[in-house]
Amino acid sequence: MLAVMPPAPSQNQTPASPGAWTLPAGLAVALLAGGLLGWLLGDRAAWGVAIVAMAETVLLLSRFRHVTQSMMPAPASAPTPRQERLLMRTRRLASNLRDLRRTASQLPDAVVLMDQDEHVRWCNHAAETLLGIRLPEDRGVQLRQRLQASELAGWLRQGGEREPLHDTIAPGKPDSQISVSLLPFGRRQQVLLARDTSHVTRLEQMRRDFVANVSHELRTPLTVIHGYLELIDPEDAPALAPVLGEMRAQSKRMGQIVEDLLTLSRLETQHRVEDERVPMAPLLATLRKEAEAISQGRHTVTVEADAALDLLGSPKDLHSALSNLVSNAVRYTPAGGGITIGWRRDDDGGATYSVTDTGYGIPASHLARLTERFYRVSSSRSRGTGGTGLGLSIVKHVLNLHQARLSIDSEPGRGSTFACHFGPERVLPAGGSRDES
Ligand code: ADP
């Protein structure tokens, strides 16, 4: 980061003094950090870099002014050529700073420059609108005190390595939501960045409502169609038997897609689960039976449970997620393959549930996208086995609600392992009663 701007070099000072090195290296690190943060906050690396550059310029100029002022001769004496050059540079810097400030003032994101104790030094127009701070009145005021009544103050108080705060109410514009992050720079100084996310949140809500409403509307007609199809006896019209069979299968699949979409809508709007003890021994036995039922004797199903542990969470949602993995393992493993359901204690006090198969496997390039809705490695294989393309998405949402993590290890032609890692807070010694949880 910027060292104190060294005074102009004396005649016998070499150009590569240590002070000269700290400027570009520190600046590069700060710009990199700014870009990274900007990128993390929403693909705006260029803004991150621009904001850090501005902040650096403000600092640089104030130090530069200080040094040059102290060096200015008494008004009476004529400036030396060196002093004149210095003056010119200062003016150029001041003009650059004015341009940068004007640009920063117009940014749609709020930018607040603060010292190490979070006292406000400068902010742009968006910060005045979104955070409700005013310059010059709030210059020198501690931000967390100024925003005392908001969630932001609590977040600022956390200090240290706090994560960005998402979708909190904007203190200066209560009908808007903002995402906020802090970028440290210079000598324990910080830039607070806040972005209005109301529009994105509204769009996201509209998308969720639309999917939920469409699914709900489709449910009834599909049930009716399915019901009538079940009433028709293929023996009454043998020529139509294959068509009837296909219609039944497709209406069943549509019904399953609708149910999965409704499950996803519910999971998306849910922020927490009602915690209950989920006894793992009987659940593992059920999962094994389910695997055998789907497999119809075509695979070997094994359970390896060496942990006498239960889970804490929603029994229905956990069953749905864990059985989805079992069903996938069976469906994506050719006949003669093996499925192993594992449940083991982890070193950190948590536990891992895993399903390993010896099936088709998944090329590495697909792994990162598997939990997206309707993402399939092979559409024909998925549809052929009755898949909806929503299973892993449901698994991810259920695990998120239980603060758990999904890991996928797979090799084409050899098989896959899908593992759910539960933290210690979600794990209980096996066998207690439900009330104990
Ligand atoms: P689907 O209903 O299509 O199975 P999922 O969301 O459960 O949808 O899975 C998404 C995709 O991930 C599947 O279409 C399949 O390509 C791949 N996949 C999931 N589990 C496995 C597995 N055990 N082995 C190979 N591929 C798998």
Same domain, 311 and 392: yes
Using most ligand atoms within 8 A of CB, pick from 377, 394, 398, 416 the residue to mutate for ligand 1: 377
Instruction: Please name the residues in contact with 223: beta carbons below 8 A apart, sequence gap of 6 or more.
Output: 255
Q: Give the Cα separation of 116 and 1 in Å (integer).
A: 14
Range 231-257 burial, b when 16+ CB lie within 10 A, else e: eeeeeeeeeeeeebeebbeebeebbeb
Residue 434 lies in a domain: no
Testing ligand 1's pocket by substitution, the residue of 320, 392, 420 carrying the most ligand atoms inside 8 A of its CB is 392
Nearest CA to ligand 1 atom 18: 328
Lookup result for tokens 């069943």: 252
Reading the block at residue 131, the tokens are 């955070």
Q: Locate tokens 């130090």: which residue? A: 63
Domain shared by 411 and 317, yes or no:
yes
Map residue 426 onto helix, strand or coil: helix
- Residue 261, domain member (yes or no): yes
Judge if 250 and 295 occupy the same domain.
no
- Which residues does residue 303 pair with via DSSP β-bridges, in sequence order? 341
| CATH number reported for the structural domain that contains residue 175 in this entry | 3.30.450.20
Residue 335 CA, ligand 1 centroid: distance in Å: 17
| Dihedral (Cα; 56, 62, 63, 68), 10-degree rounding | 140
The β-bridge relationship of strands 276-278 and 189-196 is: unpaired
Domain count for the chain:
4
Give the bridge partners for 409, in sequence order. 417
Is position 412 within any domain? yes
Q: Which two tokens stand for residue 370?
A: 């598997």
Residue 207 sits in the same domain as residue 245: yes
Residue 436 resides in a domain: no
pLDDT tens for the chain, 437 residues long, are 333 333 333 333 433 344 444 455 666 677 677 767 767 666 666 677 677 777 777 677 667 666 666 666 555 677 888 889 999 999 999 998 888 888 888 888 999 999 988 899 999 999 999 999 998 999 999 999 999 888 888 898 887 667 899 989 999 999 999 999 998 887 788 899 999 999 998 998 999 999 999 999 999 999 999 999 999 988 888 888 999 999 999 999 999 999 999 999 999 988 889 999 999 999 999 999 999 999 999 999 999 998 799 999 999 999 999 999 999 999 999 999 999 999 999 999 999 999 999 999 999 999 999 999 999 998 888 878 888 999 999 999 999 999 999 999 999 999 999 999 999 999 999 876 544 43
Task: Catalogue the E-assigned strands of 127-266.
Answer: 165-170, 173-185, 189-196
Domain CATH code at residue 247? 1.10.287.130
82-105 pLDDT, tens per residue? 889 999 999 999 998 888 888 888
Flag whether 16 is in a domain.
no
**CB within 6 Å of ligand 1 — which residues?**
324, 328-329, 332, 357, 359-360, 362, 370, 375-378, 382, 387-393, 416
Question: Do residues 172 and 182 share a domain?
Answer: yes
| Shared-domain flag, residues 352 and 406 | yes
- pLDDT reported for residue 43: 62
Is 41 part of a structural domain of the chain? Answer: yes
What does the block give as tokens for 9?
A: 């070099």
In terms of domains, do 234 and 250 share one? yes
CA of 367 to the centre of ligand 1 (A): 10
pLDDT digits (tens, 9 = 90+) for 323-376: 999 999 999 999 999 999 999 999 999 999 999 999 999 999 999 999 999 999
SS3 44: coil
Where among 174, 196, 218 does a domain terminate? 196
CA 106, 107, 108 angle in degrees (round to 5)? 110
**Quick one: 215 and 185 in the same domain?**
no
DSSP state of 349: S
The DSSP secondary-structure symbol of 126 reads H
Cβ neighbours of residue 50 closer than 8 Å, sequence gap 6 or more: 34, 103, 104
Whose CA is closest to atom 20 on ligand 1? 328
- The size of the chain, in residues, is 437
Q: Is residue 306 part of a domain?
A: yes
User: Do residue 305 and residue 326 come from a single domain?
Assistant: yes
* pLDDT tens sequence across 281-301: 999 999 999 999 999 999 999
Domain span at 367: 276-429
* C-alpha 413 to ligand 1 mean position (Å): 15
Task: Give nearest CA residue, ligand 1 atom 10.
Answer: 376
| Residue 253 and residue 281 in one domain | no
Dist. CA 328 → ligand 1 center (Å): 6
CB neighbourhood size of 37 (10 A): 23
Largest CA distance in the chain: 115
239 and 283 co-located in one domain: no
> The CATH number of the domain where 342 resides is what?
3.30.565.10
pLDDT recorded at residue 386: 80
Per-residue confidence (pLDDT) for residue 362, from 0 to 100:
96
Decide which of 168, 196, 224 is a domain's last residue.
Answer: 196
Answer yes or no: is 113 within a domain: yes
Distance, in Å, from the CA atom of 128 to the CA atom of 253, rounded to the nearest integer, reads 53
DSSP label at residue 434: G
* Cβ(346)–Cβ(309) below 8 Å: no
Which one of 232, 251, 268 terminates a domain?
Answer: 268
Domain identity same for 248 and 132 = no
Whole-angstrom distance, CA of residue 349 vs CA of residue 355:
20
Ligand 1 center to 383 CA (angstroms) = 10
* 119 DSSP 8-state letter: B
